[in-house]
């Protein structure tokens, strides 16, 4: 099942993508793809609905972030050994955890704004994990039972702000528009193994990232369990699980960074694609 949100920013309605790639309106069934609607029993009820009985949404509607009312946007850094190497950093012994501010969240095809004065805005295609059943101190063996589904995330990053300006990574990760999410939330029953998905990213048609979640250092189950030791996880929390190599910062002999007027295109096997235009803030 592919759940989504469509409509103008801040006015998104819940929807479902049917087998013919038609968006069906779910607003008569749930108020949003958020909170309690992501619990296992709620998703089971949605699976029982014949999509043909739902109103079709006219083509051309904007696709918004696939999760509404996100409580936490948690990110894992350096979770692919080859990405750690290209960043000149050691492979971490435990997951590196940071946050994106919720004001970073945008739709999968919305513009990405290059911050004023930025010289090192970068791209990162990542597998997103959306929590369905909340919990704390979750056993790794049970961790995937707490997942509602998966999505594509572009963890846009300003490297100077992140690395060279002191303090934590967060100020280089959470700028407005730095968190495109979607297009769909693909429920976990359609993703038998989140550790065998190909993911890729292009800028202006040039392929920079081409990886697989099979090379993660810490897999999805471990990440969910690990995070639950430090915070309760709740329905609608979003976890971005790290990026494979090929980010602009790691390109040799000279790094390559984004500038206004470019187009990023990225996707994950079975989870859909995003496309963003870069603009000046």
Domain limits of the chain?
A: 69-280
Averaged pLDDT of the chain = 96
Query: Residue 81 above 90 pLDDT?
Result: no
Integer Cα distance of 266 and 198 in angstroms: 11
Position 21 scores a pLDDT of 96
Considering just the CA atoms, what is the radius of gyration of the chain in Å? 18
Enter the tokens of residue 202: 């292009």
Per DSSP, the three-state class of 251 is coil
pLDDT at residue 167 greater than cutoff 90: no
| CATH number of this structure's domain 69-280 | 3.90.850.10
% residues pLDDT > 90 (the chain): 94
∠ CA(199), CA(277), CA(273), 5° rounding? Answer: 30
Q: What's the confidence (pLDDT) of residue 166? A: 85
pLDDT digits (tens, 9 = 90+) for 171-219: 999 999 999 999 999 999 999 999 999 999 999 999 999 999 999 999 9
Give a three-class secondary structure readout of 153-217. Answer: EECCEEHHHHHHCCCCCHHHHCCCCCEEECCCEEEHHHCCCCCCCEEEEEECCEEEEEEEHHHEC
């Amino acid at each position: 099942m592919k759940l989504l949100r469509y409509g103008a920013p801040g006015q998104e309605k819940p929807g479902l993508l049917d087998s013919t790639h038609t968006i069906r309106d779910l607003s008569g069934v749930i108020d949003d793809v958020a909170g309690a609607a992501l619990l296992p029993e709620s998703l089971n009820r949605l699976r029982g609905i014949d999509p043909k009985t739902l109103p079709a949404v006219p083509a051309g509607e904007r696709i918004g972030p696939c999760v509404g009312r996100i409580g936490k946007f948690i990110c894992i850094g350096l979770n692919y050994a080859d990405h750690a190497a290209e960043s000149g950093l050691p492979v971490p012994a435990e997951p590196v955890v940071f946050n994106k501010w919720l004001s970073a969240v945008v739709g999968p095809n919305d513009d990405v704004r290059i911050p004023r004065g930025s010289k090192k805005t970068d791209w990162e295609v990542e597998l997103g994990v959306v929590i369905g059943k909340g919990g704390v101190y979750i056993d790794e063996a049970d961790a995937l039972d707490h997942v509602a589904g998966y999505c594509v995330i572009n963890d846009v990053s300003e490297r100077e702000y992140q690395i060279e300006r002191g303090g934590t990574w967060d100020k280089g990760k959470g700028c407005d528009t730095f968190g495109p999410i979607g297009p769909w939330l693909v429920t976990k029953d359609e993703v038998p193994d989140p550790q065998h998905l190909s993911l890729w990213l292009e800028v202006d048609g040039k392929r920079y990232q081409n990886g697989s979640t099979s090379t993660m250092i810490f897999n999805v189950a471990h990440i969910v369990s690990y995070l639950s030791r430090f915070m309760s996880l709740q329905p609608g929390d979003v976890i971005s699980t790290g990026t494979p190599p090929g980010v602009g910062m790691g390109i040799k002999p000279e790094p390559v960074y984004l500038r206004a007027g470019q187009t990023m295109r990225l996707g994950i096997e079975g989870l859909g694609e995003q496309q963003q235009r870069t603009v000046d803030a």
